Amino acid sequence: MTFMPERAAFSVQPAARGALLREIALLAAGLLLLALVIRVHWMADFAVFFILVLSFDLLYGYMGHLSFGHMLYFGAGAYGAALWLVYGNASAWAALAVGLAAAAGMAALLGGVVLRTRGASFALINMAFNEIGHFLVQSPLAAYTLGEDGLSCTADPLFGAISLYEDRWAFAFCGAVLLAVYALLRLLTRSPFGLLVRSIRENESRVRFLGYDTFRFKWIAFVIASTIAALAGGLFTLVQGFVSPRVISPFGNVDVIFAVLIGGAGSLAGALIGAAAFLAIKNFLPVIIPELSRLLDVKLPQWELWLGVVLLLIVFSLRGGIVGTVQARLRNRKPAGEAQ
Amino acid sequence: MLEVARLEAGYGSARVLHDVSLTVAPGEMVFVVGRNGAGKTTLLRTIAGLLPSAAGEIRFEGRSVAGLAPEKRARLGFRYVNQEKRVFSPLSVRSNIELAAHGAGEPFDSAWRRAVALYPKLDEFRELPAGRLSGGQREILLIARALAGQPRLLLIDEPTEGLAAIVIEDIFRILERMRQSVAAIIVEQNLAIVRRLADRIYVMKEGRVVHEIADPRKIAGAEPLECFL
């Protein structure tokens, strides 16, 4: 017996389609608003981070598998694209495709190993692979990646006219990809496949006893999450024109995990809100703390310390993340219409 | 249909089941009774494939299922309803049934109709997160979920444990409706229910089957079932 969802279950119903379009419109409006508040040249980076955090939310928030090695796939996408641009040709599309294929292949292979483990072992074995990837680009493959110096690359304009080195085009392109990724994940997480993935998070053995080969579905979700992370990595390369071992560093996982925890794991809106909140804190604290220090005429500790403190406060005070906490409060306000 | 012969199983090196043998015929409702710690849940979990057997044989329709993963046993028609009444809490009642129906290859609509026929109130709670159901309603949802597809053998662990009398009556009616249509092994402490529904009873003590009562109706009234415990 295989997992054969009914066609109707996968088709987008009119009401669901309307809700999806509203969410996409809201997200697009949010991005434009953000672009007005902060500088446009940050927006492509923000969109790339949003995509990365969404991909991680599928793995951790929906499937319940905390990985400390997700940056491996972001890095694979980034380096795959950069290496193609340097040693292949200057096609941005081909570079993206190479990055995605490299990461998807890697995830398909490594997924067969890491998904045999769970909990802390899963988190750490992923970190170990991430560390191996980081080491490979730094040293053994330095002849191609130029090690610590990093790799500069240039892509031709998209459709011969859209240069991703112009801030507004970079934002438009990355924003469009973000909307597409959101729509894809929204459909995926609401489909029977999404139900299954969420149920695996709840209790894998119970899902197995419903007749599902849970390993196969975990593997598919892992490959999808990793490939979307690679898409973010590929976009990073296209808009930055430069990659260094920093893009594949395991330390980057901390940012992604914090973003999901702040927003609320297991919700696409939560992932986006968490990513925005994290980037706001991370980008504005270095400005605010020295200003505050000057105003108060007191030597305050470095902003990184405050970043840690603020993140800890948020994570501990909002256990379900921003979205989870708001949802819980709204639920508690409703009159008890529960099952009697 | 199911033959368990000289089964030994446990947790790690701790052996819980010793030399357990039992049989279940098609459509038969078999109850396993015994005091706490007798090994009843371990027996169900071993038959379901959630625990490995250390020795002995489990044969289903003439074929050995020892070593088969739980999902493969589920595909043969085994369904396990756990004692903890754990549904997929964040998912709606509908999604819980939907998930089971897809896994069993049955269209959702027919699985849902059967579930509602079993317990019409499920329709009211259709979109409610299953975690917000009461204990009894969760148990009913679990049984409805287990009936998705074409189950051949239900393994139900303490369906009435911790439930109010009125809900126990609902569960009783549901089990009564299932009689003859699907074989079941039910672990149960409520002897009133056992007496009314059992086609066969196995009494367990300290990991062993100490009595087999092949025709429970004969003992009703004459010899209280409690004397076997």
Q: Per residue in B57-112, pLDDT tens?
A: 999 998 999 889 888 898 888 999 888 888 888 888 999 999 899 888 889 999 99
Neighbours of B88 (CB within 10 A): 27
CA-to-CA distance for A319 and A301, rounded, in angstroms? 27
Mean pLDDT estimate for chain A: 88
Entry field: residues in chain B: 229
A199–B99 CB contact, under 8 Å: yes
Q: Is B79 exposed, middle or buried (0-12, 13-18, 19+ CB in 10 A)?
A: buried
A211–B95 CB contact, under 8 Å: no
Entry field: residues in chain A: 340
Candidate from A3, A198, A209 with C-beta closest to B91: A198
Average pLDDT over residues A220-240: 96
State the best of B79, B80, B84, B88 to mutate against chain A, taking most chain A CBs within 10 Å.
B88
pLDDT tens-digit map of A124-137: 999 999 999 999 99
Residue type at A254? Answer: V
Angle among Cα B204, B208, B209 to the nearest 5 degrees reads 55
Measured between CA atoms, the residue of chain B closest to residue A193 is: B99
B91–A212 CB contact, under 8 Å: no
Range of the domain at B213: 2-87+155-227
Q: Is B134 exposed, middle or buried (0-12, 13-18, 19+ CB in 10 A)?
A: middle
Measured between CA atoms, the residue of chain A closest to residue B151 is: A210
Q: Give chain B positions within 8 Å (CB) of A338.
A: 128, 132
CB A273 within 8 A of CB A325: no
Map B43-90 to HEC letters.
HHHHHHCCCCEEEEEEEECCEECCCCCHHHHHHHCEEEECCCCCCCCC
Q: Give chain A positions within 8 Å (CB) of B79.
A: 209
CB B44 within 8 A of CB B187: yes
The total number of structural domains in chain B stands at 1
Tokens of B191: 């002897």
Given the structure tokens 């046993």, which residue do they identify?
B73
Per-residue pLDDT band for A2 (boundaries 50, 70, 90) equals very low
Q: Write out the E strands in A161-266.
A: 242-243
Around A261, how many Cα atoms within 13 Å sit in the side-chain half-sphere? 17
pLDDT tens-digit map of B125-142: 988 988 888 888 888 899
Does residue B124 fall inside a structural domain?
no
Q: Give chain B positions within 8 Å (CB) of A209.
A: 48, 50, 70-71, 73-74, 78-80
Does residue B19 fall inside a structural domain?
yes
More reliable by pLDDT, A205 or B44: B44
CA-to-CA distance for A130 and A120, rounded, in angstroms? 15
pLDDT tens-digit map of A73-82: 999 999 999 9
CA-to-CA distance for A186 and B142, rounded, in angstroms? 28
CA-to-CA distance for A89 and A81, rounded, in angstroms? 10
Does residue B38 fall inside a structural domain?
yes
**pTM score of the predicted model:** 0.81
Does residue B179 fall inside a structural domain?
yes
Q: Give chain A positions within 8 Å (CB) of B129.
A: none
B48–A207 CB contact, under 8 Å: no
Residue type at B118? Answer: L
CA separation, residue A104 to residues A63, A275, B92 (Å): 18, 24, 33
B200 touches chain A (CB under 8 A): no
Domain ranges of chain A: 16-249
Does residue B144 fall inside a structural domain?
no
Count of pairs with CB atoms under 8 A, one residue in A, one in B: 86
- Is pLDDT at A156 greater than 60 in this prediction? yes
SS3 B5: strand
Lowest-confidence region among A16-25, A264-273, A295-304, B99-108: A295-304
Closest CA to B96 of B175, B105, B86: B86
- Is pLDDT at B229 greater than 70 in this prediction? no
Q: Give chain B positions within 8 Å (CB) of A214.
A: 71
For chain A, percent of residues with pLDDT exceeding 70? 93
A340–B134 CB contact, under 8 Å: yes
Q: Give chain A positions within 8 Å (CB) of B50.
A: 205, 209
A338–chain B nearest CA distance, Å:
7
Based on its alpha-carbon atoms, the radius of gyration of chain B, rounded to whole angstroms, reads: 17
Q: Give chain B positions within 8 Å (CB) of A199.
A: 88, 91, 99
Instruction: Based on DSSP, count helices (H) and strands (E) in chain A, helices before strands.
Output: 15, 2
CA separation, residue B117 to residues A168, B106, B111 (Å): 59, 16, 10
Domain at B56, CATH number: 3.40.50.300
Does residue B132 fall inside a structural domain?
no
A211–B149 CB contact, under 8 Å: yes
CB A84 within 8 A of CB A95: yes
CB A155 within 8 A of CB A149: no
Q: Give chain B positions within 8 Å (CB) of A2.
A: 105
Based on its alpha-carbon atoms, the radius of gyration of chain A, rounded to whole angstroms, reads: 21
State the best of A206, A218, A323 to mutate against chain B, taking most chain B CBs within 10 Å.
A206
CA-to-CA distance for A182 and B162, rounded, in angstroms? 44
Around A258, how many Cα atoms within 13 Å sit in the side-chain half-sphere? 21
pLDDT tens-digit map of A59-74: 999 999 999 999 999 9
Write out the residues of chain A at the interface with chain B, using a CB-CB cutoff of 8 A. Answer: 1-6, 9, 192, 195-196, 198-199, 202-203, 205-214, 266, 338-340
- Is pLDDT at A282 greater than 90 in this prediction? no
A212–B71 CB contact, under 8 Å: yes
Q: Give chain A positions within 8 Å (CB) of B75.
A: 1, 211
B125 touches chain A (CB under 8 A): yes
CA-to-CA distance for A25 and B27, rounded, in angstroms? 55
CB A51 within 8 A of CB A177: yes
CA-to-CA distance for A108 and A98, rounded, in angstroms? 15
- Is pLDDT at B227 greater than 70 in this prediction? no
Measured between CA atoms, the residue of chain B closest to residue A3 is: B103
B68–chain A nearest CA distance, Å:
12
Does residue B95 fall inside a structural domain?
no
Q: What is the DSSP string of B104-173?
A: HT--HHHHHHHHHHH-GGGGTTTTSBGGGS-HHHHHHHHHHHHTSS--SEEEEE-TTTT--HHHHHHHHH
More reliable by pLDDT, A38 or A198: A198
Residue type at A285? Answer: L
B69–A195 CB contact, under 8 Å: no
